[in-house]
Structure 1
Amino acid sequence: MKLLITLCCVLGFSLQSYTQQDAPSPILFIYDASGSMWGQLDGKTKKGIAANVLSTTVSNLPTNQNIGLVAYGHRKKGDCNDIEFLVDIKNDDKNNITAAVKSMNALGKTPLARSAGLAINSLKENNTKATIILITDGIESCDGNICDVVSKAKLEGIDFKLHIVGFGLKEEETEQLKCAANAGGGTYYDATNAAGLGEGLTEATEQTIDDSEGNFSIYATKNDEPVDAWVKVVKSGTNQEIAVTRTYRDSGWVFLPPGKYDMIVNPLENTRIKGTTIKVESVKDKIGHQTVSFDGGKINLITLNNGEGWDCTSKVKTQEGEVVGGSRTYGRPQIIEVNAGVYDIEIMGLTMKGLETKYIIEDVVVASGKTVEASHNFETGIAMIGVKSGETLVDAVVSIKDKKSGQNVAGSRTYTSNSSNPREFMLNPGTYEVKVSAVKKEHAGKTETFTIEVKKGETITKIITF
């Protein structure tokens, strides 16, 4: 009997330990209820947006996720100590968070450092670790420095990860927040609307203290300045997603088990360049890093006709045939920005007709940070085709074929106006067969076929008399 009791106690303890290990570490939200949350975005208060988005985020968390809530500025105006632990981190009822947030007023100041200190010290007192997520629409207004608070706590060995979601902040207001998130082993997310806030909170709740620490960093630049970029890592040669991150003009971190991967990086600002895929390898017990430059290069595209600037459309294609750029030239040199690489440029001359209205400039080499010139000169001449009966202009259909290939290249009607009869055709140099067929009843059935030779830069006129 004694053995049975002992066995049950051991099994019970083991089961309890296993369950505790299975449960994720708590998430502790620090919520901004300062007076500025009454400000509006897209016609709605930031207070209302934040409450709805946070409620949705919380409802999507696992059922065994413990969630705590700290709020500041919700009870008094001008009080830097108006900070309260509204929901304990042992809470497992999502409704408690939702109810607290939606019933909260927004009144006071923004004591970021003191709020972070309260949240972090609670972990120390409870001897637990947690993911802390701070949501704020403002900068410190109580003379504290949240970055210093977080850095000091890390030095003391308190186990936490801090993410910060800045809601409607200006770029110059984010420096201290980015510093704090970096010191806390987390990420600063910039949200300008409800969708951005939702994306930031979702990613923050997925990147928890329970995750393996990042062992591979990614930094994206353009013209030596950091740019925000979205990064997805997949197993090499597959679509199997391993990790995602966002750089937010800083280093983004992912955890990659030893192996080879394809890193897909897409810039989110300051460039028309498309994303790039880079082969990377993660080595056991080593920190990896990849700097991605979106400097690319530029193509100065010049399109001419008989040596003069000419309006054309263009498509820049990779060697695999993917269109990555292009523009309409309007008769002027056009700058097209693309990734470094080798390209073919397909040009279509507008207005002109013939068999040489399209041209491909092949194997244009674009180097990072450089501008390469690519040009083509089309050649054309003018054919004026008119129809008369005595001194009267005759409406007729004009059809033009390339003499050698028999391919139709142009066609129109002359009508009976001096502005269209004779009708002007801009054609590539060559020999053409022209057929003219009268339209009106008084000349019905009358046709004439003849051959013309069009030369570069010259005009040939042919008037048919019925």
Structure 2
Amino acid sequence: MRFVLLTALAAALPLLTPATPRCGAAMPEVLFVLDSSGSMSEDAGGQRKIDAAKQVMHDITPALPEEVLVGLVAYGHRRPGDCTDIEVLMPAGSSDRQGLLSQVDRLEPRGKTPITSAVLTAAGMLKGKDAVTSIVLVSDGVETCAGDPCRVVRELKSTGCKFVLHAVGFAVDAAAAKQLGCLAKAGGGKYFAAADGDALLAALNAVSQEVAEDVEQAKIQTVAGGTGLGKLRLAMPKGAQESLRYVEIARASDGKVVKTITNLQADDTHPLLSGEYRVTAGFATPNNGESTRTELGVFTIATQQTRDLELGSIAFNLPESLASANNWNDRLHVETVVVKDSGTGAVAATVSSNGNGYYTFKDKPLLPGVYDVELIYSASEEPSAVARRVVVKPGSKSTVTLDSGVRFVRPEQKISGWRVYRRPEQSADAAEDQGAAPERELVLQAQARPGIGASLRVDGLYYPYLLPAGTYDFEIDVVGMTEPLPAGEAVEIHAGELLRFETGL
């Protein structure tokens, strides 16, 4: 079992049942995700909250059973006002506890409290895990990055992700206690209140004791003896298999490929010797292009048992006028579709058009989880996000509707490129942890710059580009000018609308 600690520790290793014997008992792991937001510089019981947390980490970490591997993630420790300030300081599964504590000692509170993204980052590391993961979140305040962590936990639960979430409120007010309590309830765990360092230590000691008990339980679990045949059942929503050229099954111990499945079915079972196997999917590329590979995970096959690997999928709903327009200039010119895990940013699928586009918007089979979808256009090397936090459930199809965007009208002046910036939504809860909130930065959503000088292929600037509904600023590069020109501010793009935009040049 893997244990994740969102600023803390984890617990609750379930007993194996006769229906799911394993070839070995997984030991608990601990991943610390440490809150280092600006408010952690405040006083709690006569010392700064961050100093109390560091002291508790020094007490708890060495006391963990030696079998427990550790990791460290921190947020808010580098940049004030940055909701993306989440960093893996030590990957999960490390035995270097002193190195972890050295990283903890370097933390200083500076930034915001992106609880939602922190939970997504943790969950993104749990895909394909057989054992239940207990997540314990310790926070000294509410979400400050306009997220909805309680909703995200419920969504993650709906994907079948195997975790229990406990929450610890460190010297928090009533609003934070309410939010953290909601998180714990949604995650099937408990909420703990800690007013100072001593209370924080007591709370984490209680959880770490459960970890120690789980280690002992793991040692005595019944394991499947001997060798023999088991089965891997690979299932996905009907039609999703069309995006795959193959699925490869290799022994985890030596990497030897024992089976390559090319005639894929939506639901099929494959006999294998008992053991651990790494499963990889190869996404098809048209015109006999090289397949892009995505690792689905390492799975245990037990004697006389069937291990289910049930995928979900993302489907795309596009207007017919964009998907198959007769006029070349009226079509979408998407070179690559990229699907990434919303929390970790790990690429889950990459599909290239390879001058054909047959597979571009075919259903994409994926491990259950939460994903972002990006497009790379022919006139831009940079990805453009068109859908965020798409929830994929096992055996289910999640449809992403792409029916809004922009198309620039060719101006009289020659232009060499443009950029579209999205204005983030404002939230009453998204205040700074300390001091006045700075002006919120615009987010680069899409851009086009197909070439320079004689090689400029200007047609690419005026193709349709998909954008989520929202408010945008436009910026134009005019040939002969050294600085970009603002062409539109606070431009509204509505769902179902392909905006034809006149630059005024």
TM-score bucket of the superposed structures, by smaller chain: 0.3 to 0.5
Q: TM-score, normalised by structure 2?
A: 0.36
With CA pairs under 8 Å and 6+ residues apart, which has the higher RCO, 1 or 2? 2
